[in-house]
Amino acid sequence: MKKFKFFISIEKEEHWLNEQLQKGYLCTNISGLGIYTFEKTDKRFVMRLDYQDYLSKKKFEEYKGIYEDFGWNYLKGYWLSGIRYWQKENDGQNEIFSDRESKSHYYKRIMGYSFWFGMIFLIYSFSYYRDPGLYHEGLWSMESALFWKAFLFETPFVLLKLFPAFMVVLLAGSYYKAYRKYSILKEQ
């Protein structure tokens, strides 16, 4: 079974993947385009996601080794940086962050992820929106049926043009949520 899903929040993605596992579908592959491949299973699994900045090959192998020593199977991730997908059979020891400090470092990494991707989209937005007109100039002077046809035709292009701005807002929200959780862990 294949499903298409797009996530901004790493935690929401992890929650959704675990819901699929509870329904009896084991994740076997995740493409960079948001296509998740599942197969039916009778065993109970759990999945955890981690975000890591750039790791050298040596550090990456050490990182993988630590998790594999605790029974986690590496499903997917990108060597240079990004989200790492881990899963294992549910045995009651299902957390990859065992203490408050490691959890706070996790939220700090998510804040960095949200900040830098948000900045990329923000810079792109500033360079892209130099021309303030979203719709074609002559659209507003068109009459009745021709106006609606042109309006409906151009709307998907306008939404595509607004995509970077939407991403900035979504990533700012992701940063804020991670910051709140990070602050709570630091205060305790």
pLDDT at site 180: 92
**How confident is the model over 16-60, as pLDDT tens digits?**
999 999 998 988 888 877 889 899 988 888 999 888 887 888 988
Q: Categorize the per-residue pLDDT at 1 as very low, low, confident or very high, splitting at 50, 70 and 90.
A: confident
Q: Categorize the per-residue pLDDT at 179 as very low, low, confident or very high, splitting at 50, 70 and 90.
A: very high
Task: Output the six-digit token pair for 53.
Answer: 């900045």
Q: Rounded CA gap, 142 and 176, in Å? A: 43
Whether the predicted pLDDT of 80 surpasses 70: no
Region of residue 187 (left: phi > 0; alpha: psi -120 to 50; beta: else): alpha
DSSP SS3 for 80: coil
Task: Output the six-digit token pair for 97.
Answer: 């962050």
pTM strictly above 0.85:
no
